[in-house]
């Protein structure tokens, strides 16, 4: 993986995040790829991966910084508030896996 360029890495990372991490709303699971949030999350996580500074706290901080518009844009919530704990753990695992591979 260390030989792939940044664009390819972001695409692969975004795809994996989009298929594994979901928003839970009233027990409905909306995967980040379907919500069109997987690319944003991957782009925000990439600096952590590249700088080898990804850990649970840094991933959570990034999730807190991503705003998701709801209700047609009437309100915004941090992405962290929409992800179940298991999805947060999954995302940390994915980011750490990519960090180790770089």
CA atoms within a 13 Å half-sphere pointing along the CA-CB vector of 88: 17
The pLDDT of 51-63, averaged and rounded, is 95
User: Is residue 53 a contact partner of residue 68, using CB atoms and an 8 Å limit?
Assistant: no
Instruction: Evaluate whether residue 49 is within a structural domain.
Output: yes
What is the C-alpha end-to-end distance of the chain, expressed in Å? Answer: 6
Look at the pTM and tell me if it is higher than 0.75: yes
Instruction: Evaluate whether residue 65 is within a structural domain.
Output: yes
Tokens found for residue 78: 């941090």
Which residues on adjacent β-strands are paired with residue 25? 28
Higher pLDDT, 26 or 2: 26
Tokens found for residue 85: 């704990």
Domain residue limits at 67: 6-101
Q: Provide the domain count of the chain.
A: 1
**Residue 17: its pLDDT value, please?**
98
Instruction: Evaluate whether residue 1 is within a structural domain.
Output: no
Share of the chain above pLDDT 70, in %: 96
């Amino acid at each position: 993986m260390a030989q792939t360029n940044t664009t390819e890495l972001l695409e692969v990372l975004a795809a994996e995040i989009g298929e594994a991490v979901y928003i839970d709303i009233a027990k409905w699971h909306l995967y980040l790829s379907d919500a069109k949030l997987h690319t944003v999350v991957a782009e925000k996580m990439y600096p952590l991966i590249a700088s080898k500074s990804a850990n649970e706290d840094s991933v959570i901080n990034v999730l807190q910084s991503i705003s998701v518009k709801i209700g047609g844009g009437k309100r915004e919530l941090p992405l962290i508030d929409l992800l179940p704990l298991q999805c947060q753990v999954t995302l940390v695992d994915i980011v750490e896996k990519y960090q180790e591979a770089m």
